Amino acid sequence: MKSIRMLMILASCGTGLATAALDAFSQPYPARPIRFIVPFVPGGSADFFARAIAPGLSDGLGQQVVVDNRGGAGGTVGTELASRAAPDGYTVLLATANTAMNVSLYTKWTVDPLKDFDAVSLLGSAPNILAVHPSLPAKTVKDLIALAKSRPGQINYASGGSGSTSHLATELFKTMAGVELLHVPYKGTGPAMIAVLSGESAVVIPPASVVLPHMKTARLRALAIASATRLETVPDLPTMAESGVPRYEASQWYGLVVPRGAPQEVVSQLNRELVKVVQNPDLKARLLAQATTVVGSTPQQFAIYLRDEVDKWARVVKVSGARVE
């Protein structure tokens, strides 16, 4: 009798749980707060971007969007955490250029952004800028290429560390320009910039936001911007393509992805709200001040862009030999 009674209790509990689950799924999305994982520590450009769009997304969805910084190992820690979340739209991830780079860069990392996530929207892009110390006798990109070819391996370049966007952006430049530069990695973009400003290193290709404050001083010379078009805030600075390196582009871009398998209606709703957010004039002005241009793409467009970025940086990693354990 006790066994029968226990079975009846368990059956009753199971029915209750099933009913609760059905009730949760029957509620219109979103029915509770959304976790917005940023795979970098607070205070950086990715964190700034996420916190700039989160309030507008909260307003549009009618639920709080909570930014959750999970930095570490070039963005792999937070990305892996997001990949294991339930595919229900209640966990979203800020994808960046590092998301595309890391799949080839980290030898022991098993997360694949093309297989483990669904693209929602490409939201913004902040191009890198090729800059040199004024003591280097190069006033244009063509000057730098000629100088580097005359002194192979003798001109050093600074990066924010092995595997950083500034590292791979310069390796891409070396490959496309056919030059050899000596890599000097630093512990972050800040120290790398200090090295170039002081003359300790000669060349750097960091995000535009860290170069712009120094462009009007005599301590740094910007040669070109690594985007397809000129930046609105510095219209006189030519693109790399205009400067003799066709098709060269390197930027820190930002997009939103969700764990693979999220309902299509959830992806569509997130996309609609995000596009509205980034088209807000005040937000566009705030981001432009940080050298970031808003995009707002369809999920399909972002999926293609992400695939192309993964392929591009995989080639750079292979040629450069840049690998991280």
Q: What is the pLDDT of residues 40-98, one digit of tens each?
A: 989 888 999 999 999 999 999 999 999 999 998 889 999 999 999 999 999 999 999 99
Domain total for the chain? Answer: 2
Q: Is residue 244 part of a domain?
A: no
Distances (CA, A) of 7 to 2, 14, 207, 212, 263: 9, 10, 63, 70, 35
Confidence of residue 272 (pLDDT cuts 50, 70, 90): very high
- What was the pLDDT predicted at 320? 84
Which pLDDT band holds residue 316 (cuts at 50, 70, 90)? very high
| Position 14 in a domain | no
Q: Is residue 6 in some structural domain?
A: no
- Residue-level pLDDT at 73: 85
pLDDT at 12 over 80: no
pLDDT of residue 26: 60
**Do the domain assignments include residue 26?**
no
| 109 shares a domain with 138 | no
Torsion of CA 224, 226, 232, 238, to 10 degrees: 30
Residue 39, domain extent: 31-125+251-320
Tell me, yes or no, whether 194 lies in a domain: yes
pLDDT at 322: 82
221 and 133 within one domain: yes
- Helix pair angle (45-61, 264-278), 10° resolution: 110
**Confidence check: pLDDT of 20 > 50:** no
Q: Is 236 within the bounds of a domain?
A: no
What would the two tokens of residue 41 be? 């520590």
**Do 279 and 219 share a structural domain?**
no
CATH code of the domain in which 107 resides: 3.40.190.150
CATH of the domain at 155: 3.40.190.10
User: Residue 2 pLDDT more than 50?
Assistant: no
| Start-to-end CA span in the chain (Å) | 60
45 inside domain: yes
Mean pLDDT of 184-204: 94
Whether the per-residue pLDDT at 207 is higher than 80: the answer is yes
Looking at the fold, whether 54 and 140 belong to one and the same domain comes out as: no
pLDDT for 6 equals 46
Which of 126, 184, 139 minimizes the C-alpha distance to 160? Answer: 184
pTM: 0.86
The pLDDT value recorded for residue 16 is 47
Which one, of 136, 127, 178, 126, lies nearest residue 157 by Cα? 136
pLDDT in tens, 122-153: 999 999 999 999 999 999 999 999 999 999 99
Whether 109 is covered by a domain: the verdict is yes
Place of tokens 């909570």: 66
Q: Which residues contact 294 (CB under 8 A, 6 or more apart)?
A: 123, 124, 278, 279, 283, 284, 287
Cβ contact 110:84 at 8 Å: no
How confident is the model at residue 163, as a pLDDT? 84
136: left (phi over 0), alpha (psi -120 to 50) or beta: beta
Question: Are 137 and 51 members of one domain?
Answer: no
Residues 113 and 135 in one domain: no
pLDDT averaged over the chain? 91
**227-245 pLDDT, tens per residue?**
999 998 899 999 999 999 9
| pLDDT at residue 5 in the model | 52
